[in-house]
Every structure is written in structure tokens, then in C-alpha cells.
Amino acid sequence: YASSPDLKAFERRLTEYIACLQPATGRWRMILIVVSVCTATGAWNWLIDPETQKVSFFTSLWNHPFFTISCITLIGLFFAGIHKRVVAPSIIAARCRTVLAEYNMSCDDTGKLILKPRPHVQ
């Protein structure tokens, strides 16, 4: 490994790529947390409102626009693939591990290569 410039270059590029994804992943996680908390808060207010039981479902949603908008936003984010964006670095690392296993190697979550001992052939 120490003598292979190709492996060093691959490791550098992989760690660079994963590190590049981290800021965007952090932003997507914060967006998901904020929208989830808004949805949960709106749902709580919607459920404890005594009028909710007395009116139709759509009227109750109309009476609670904060919950309705945050819920639609959360659903839209999931349709847009936010669940993949918040775990993108780990998806990349897992796919690399799958490919690297063929070459008796692996990598950690930051992209650093892990060389496994060669199997002994007898």
C-alpha cells in the first residue's frame, strides 16, 4: 500500500469526496430536523384541539395551516429524496466497501482504506 501511488490517489479522492459531502449532509439533516419538529408540534396542536373531533378532516386541516404546511413539506422532502441525502456519505462508503471486498480491502466512514491481510494459500 505504501508503495502504490494508485491506492494513495484513490484514498485521497475518496476521502476528499466524502468530506465534500459532509457540509451538504449537515444542512439536509438540519432541514429534516426542523421540519420534523414543526410537523410534530403542529400535529400535537391539531390533536389536542377539541374542534378537530367536531369538524370534518379537511376542515380540521384548514383550521391548522401550520401543521398542514409542515406535513406537506415533510412529505415533499421525502419524495425529493432527503432520506438519501442525509446518509449520502455512509451510502458511498458502504458501496465502496462492497467493491473493495473483492480486492481484500475495506474503508472506514471517512474513506480511509483498510487493507486486510492476504489469505494464506497452501
Residue 59 lies in a domain: yes
Q: What is the mean pLDDT of the chain?
A: 91
Model pLDDT, residue 98: 95
pLDDT over 60 at 95, yes or no: yes
Q: Look up residue 16 and give its amino acid.
A: E
Give pLDDT, residue 121.
65
pLDDT for res 2? 55
Count of domains for the chain: 1
Q: Structure pTM?
A: 0.77
- Any domain includes 25: yes
- Cβ neighbors of 44 (< 8 A, separation 6 or more) are none
Nearest CA to 22 out of 112, 68, 96, 86 is that of 86
Query: Which residue range is the domain that position 86 belongs to?
Result: 5-115
The per-residue pLDDT for range 37-86, each reduced to its tens digit, is: 999 999 999 999 999 889 999 999 999 999 999 999 999 999 999 999 99
Domain contains 24: yes
The answer to whether position 121 is within a domain reads: no
Specify if 122 maps to a domain. no
SS3 string of the chain? CCCCHHHHHHHHHHHHHHHHHHHHHHHHHHHHHHHHHHHHHHHHHHHHCHHHHCCCHHHHHHHCHHHHHHHHHHHHHHHCCHHHHCCHHHHHHHHHHHHHHHHCEEECCCCCEEECCCCCCC
Model pLDDT for residues 17-41, shown as the tens digit of each residue: 999 999 999 999 999 999 999 999 9
User: Cell 395551516 appears where?
Assistant: 65
Is 120 a domain residue? no
